[in-house]
Structure formats: structure tokens, C-alpha cells
């Protein structure tokens, strides 16, 4: 990085972090990328959208930040994926060219070998003079040496490019994960959820949607700080996936809210899954390493709705969300299924 670029990056960094603190945004790398882009002014549409929100109040919610990232920044990840794909294709083409060269050399040597064998047989049969035998032997040796050199070069080339391809594959996998997974919890993200739900709706699959919201999450942040809140989010996400990974798919919907898609199960079956998970969550505890304070009880509320024939994604989401808030109104730490 040249001196000017370093100075500019430092300037943007010094602007981004105070704004995140001011608007009460968790200072994680995931959200820092959003506010860095905002302060750098690289996405004018993003700046207009953020300005419209912060002018109305003193904070920007985590869900709003997630929406901004999905709407304005995910295209950058897509471009990176395209770049990596092109690099892999170029490397494959290079390997193909090297292989073609080696094959050509091999074919040439095969011709030399065939011709030499024939001549050597003639030497044996006709007892030709020593000079002719030496010439044939020389041609055979030279062909062998040329093939050996070409093979060694090819092996070195393959080894170097295989290392580069492995590195590119890993980077490609990292970018794919960033595009579909939540940076904090490791769960699939809202973008992945929207794609999966749209596919279920399009295929009219039998699917139940479970909406999960951590109870009193704002109090954790207010009393212990955002770092403790992040710890709660990660441990809840981990417990959800532990209890549901064999029967359902867990997504971070936004903020302290998660969504779960359960296929090929009745709403009663989804209710049993949610109830088992609810009981597992209330046994969790988290300790603040700095202060030693401990959260002994973490609970969550659940709303469950089953996709109806011909129903749209927005309608299913609205029904599951309404049931979730009904669970909240009825005392929290409970599952509210939408039985018909």
C-alpha cells in the first residue's frame, strides 16, 4: 500500500469507528465493512440510504445494517467470485497447454523410438558399420533427453499451478461463505434464507417456518455491553444448530432473530422440534470474562407457521412473525404454533 492509500485508509477508519459507536452499531468486522464503505463514499446509493435512516434518530439497528449490506455490498462479493472463477479457468487453460506440449514431445519421441528400434534391428540383421549404430544410438539418446526435460518442466509447472489452484479454491470457498453466512454466528444469513424460502414456495414444498427471537436481548446489551450480546448470539446460534441440524436449517434473520426452515414435517412435528430446542436454550449460561458477571438464563420465543398451497413468502413470514409476537405477549419463553 502506497503512502497516500495508507493515509486515506486511516482517515476513513477514524471516521467509521466513531460513527458506529454513535449509532450503536456492533464494532465487528462484518458491520465495519459497511461503515467503512459509507465513510469512503464508494457507494453513493448506500450513503443516501444510511443518511435517510440516521437523520430520523440517534441509532441504526443491526437489522438495518444487515439490510444495507445485503442490498448495496453483496454485489462486490459476486464480482470477486467472478474474478476467482476466471483465474481458475486461466490456470486450467495453462495446464492444458503444458499437457499439449508434453504430449507433442512424447509423440515425437515415440516416432524416434519406433524408427530407432527398426534401424537397430537392421543393424543386428545386416551388421551395419559402427558409425551408423552410433548415429542411431545418438538419436535415441537425444530424444530421451528431450522428453525427460519436457516432463520435468511439466511436473514443475503442474506443481506450481496446483498450489495456486488450491489457494484460489480456498479463497473462493471463503467468498462463497461470506456471501451466504453470517459473519458473527456462522449461521446461514438472510440472503440464503430468502433464496431457500423462495425455492420452497416456487416448488410448493411442504415446509414449516419457525421464527425465533431471543428474549430481553436489549437488556443484555444495555447491562453487559455489545460484546456480551455478541456472545449470547453466538451461543444461541450454536445451540439452535446443534438441536436442529439433522432435521432443519437455521438462518440468522437479523439482529437477535433467527429463522428455521423444516421440510417434510407437520406443524405438530415442527412444534415438537421447537419445544425441545426452547428447553435446551433455557439451560444456557454466559459469563462475561471481563467482569465475571454471569447470565444464568437465556430464553427465546418461537412462532411457527406452515406454508399453505399457493401462499407467497411474505404471507408465510407475516403469519410466523405474528405468532412469534403472540408468544412474547403471552409471557415469552414459549412456542406458539399456528394450528388450524
Tell me how far apart the alpha carbons of residues 134 and 11 are, in angstroms, rounded to a whole number. Answer: 76
Distances, alpha carbon 32 to alpha carbons 65, 69, 257, in Å:
10, 11, 21
Residues β-bridged to residue 336: 303
Secondary-structure percent of the chain, ordered helix, strand, coil, rounded to 5: 70, 10, 20
What one-character-per-residue DSSP string does 67-83 give?
Answer: HHIIIIIHHHHHHHHHH
Tell me how far apart the alpha carbons of residues 75 and 80 are, in angstroms, rounded to a whole number. Answer: 9
Active site residue 152: no
Query: Which three cell numbers mark 208?
Result: 414449516
Cα–Cα–Cα angle for 75, 77, 83, nearest 5°? Answer: 105
> What's the N-to-C CA distance of the chain in angstroms?
62
Q: Which of 107, 256, 282, 311 is catalytic?
A: 256
Question: Do 146 and 213 form a contact (C-beta atoms < 8 A)?
Answer: no
> Catalytic residues, which ones?
256
Amino acid at each position: 500500500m502506497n503512502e497516500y492509500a495508507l493515509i486515506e485508509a486511516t482517515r476513513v477508519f477514524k471516521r467509521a469507528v466513531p460513527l458506529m459507536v454513535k449509532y450503536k452499531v456492533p464494532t465487528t468486522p462484518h458491520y465495519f465493512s459497511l461503515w467503512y464503505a459509507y465513510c469512503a463514499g464508494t457507494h453513493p446509493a448506500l450513503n443516501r440510504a444510511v443518511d435517510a435512516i440516521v437523520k430520523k434518530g440517534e441509532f441504526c439497528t443491526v437489522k438495518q445494517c444487515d439490510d444495507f449490506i445485503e442490498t448495496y455490498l453483496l454485489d462486490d462479493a459476486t464480482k470477486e467470485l467472478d474474478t476467482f472463477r476466471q483465474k481458475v479457468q486461466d490456470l486450467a487453460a495453462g495446464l492444458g497447454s503444458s499437457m499439449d506440449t508434453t504430449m507433442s514431445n512424447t509423440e515425437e519421441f515415440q516416432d524416434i523410438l519406433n524408427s530407432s528400434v527398426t534401424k537397430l534391428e537392421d543393424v543386428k540383421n545386416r551388421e551395419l558399420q559402427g558409425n551408423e549404430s552410433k548415429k542411431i544410438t545418438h538419436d535415441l539418446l537425444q530424444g530421451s533427453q528431450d522428453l525427460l526435460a519436457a516432463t520435468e518442466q511439466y511436473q514443475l509447472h503442474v506443481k506450481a499451478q496446483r498450489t495456486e489452484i488450491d489457494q484460489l479454491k480456498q479463497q473462493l470457498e471463503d467468498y462463497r461463505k461470506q456471501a451466504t453466512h453470517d459473519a458473527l454466528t456462522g449461521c446461514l444469513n438472510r440472503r440464503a434464507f430468502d433464496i431457500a424460502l423462495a425455492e420452497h414456495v416456487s416448488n410448493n414444498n411442504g415446509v414449516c417456518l419457525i421464527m425465533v427471537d431471543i428474549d430481553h436481548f436489549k437488556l443484555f446489551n444495555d447491562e453487559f455491553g455489545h460484546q456480551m450480546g455478541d456472545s449470547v448470539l453466538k451461543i444461541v446460534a450454536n445451540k439452535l444448530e446443534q438441536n436442529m441440524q439433522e432435521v432443519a436449517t437455521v438462518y440468522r434473520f437479523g439482529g437477535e432473530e433467527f429463522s428455521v426452515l423444516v421440510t417434510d414435517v407437520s406443524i405438530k412435528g415442527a412444534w415438537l422440534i421447537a419445544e425441545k430446542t426452547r428447553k435446551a436454550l433455557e439451560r444456557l449460561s454466559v459469563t462475561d470474562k471481563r467482569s465475571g458477571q454471569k447470565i444464568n438464563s437465556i430464553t427465546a420465543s418461537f412462532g411457527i407457521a406452515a406454508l399453505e398451497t399457493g401462499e407467497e413468502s411474505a404471507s408465510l413470514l407475516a403469519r410466523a412473525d405474528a405468532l412469534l409476537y403472540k408468544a412474547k405477549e403471552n409471557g415469552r419463553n414459549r412456542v406458539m404454533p399456528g394450528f388450524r
